[in-house]
Structure 1
């Protein structure tokens, strides 16, 4: 199953991932500089949320595409139940 993000969806996901990338770089810098633990954890939490939101957006788009075109969304030889189980596993991996 390939994921096709378009327009606003693509921009939103990429912005979230770039934000997380910047936050992770900030966390690394903060640790190297020996900054306050609470500030480091706060920044790490923000990065984690940004990654979660990007992941949920990607999964939601994938689910929408699969529901719109269930036959094309399935892997070769995969039935609807197998596809549902695979998508559920992806979704739960972020929970």
Structure 2
């Protein structure tokens, strides 16, 4: 089971909102809106994706990683390593 199951509707709602924002950016490009205005909206979409990613990461840490750490051993080390890599990917973007 995914760690975000109890937040699934929130995550899906955010992703639908982001999808709408991306369609809006596409329309802006079709309509030849000024570059700076398009870039501003692209930045907004990026921020929304980051926020969604943080929600998913929080759920992963609160459920999957916490459960693995409670079990201990190699499973715990693997889950912590997996979370570390996920965080590294997020801070690179």
TM over 0.5: yes
Runs of 4+ in 1 over 6 A off after TM superposition: none
Calculate the TM-score normalised by the size of structure 1: 0.79
Calculate the TM-score normalised by the size of structure 2: 0.80
The RMSD of aligned alpha carbons is: 2.6
Number of aligned positions between the proteins: 91
Say whether the 8 Å CA contact 1:3–1:62 is kept in structure 2.
Answer: yes
Cα gap change, 1:4 to 1:16, in 2 (>3 Å): closer
Flag the structure with more relative contact order, 1 or 2, with Cα contacts below 8 A and sequence separation at least 6: 1
Residue in structure 1 matched with residue 50 of structure 2 by the alignment:
52
Please give the alpha-carbon distance, in whole angstroms, between the structure 2 residues aligned to 1:87 and 1:47.
24
Q: Which one has a larger percent helix, Structure 1 or Structure 2?
A: 2
After superposition, the C-alpha distances for 1:29-57 in whole angstroms (9 at most, x for unaligned) are 11111111111011111111111111110
Matches within 5 A, 1:20-35: 20-35=18-33
Alignment gaps of 5+ in structure 2: none
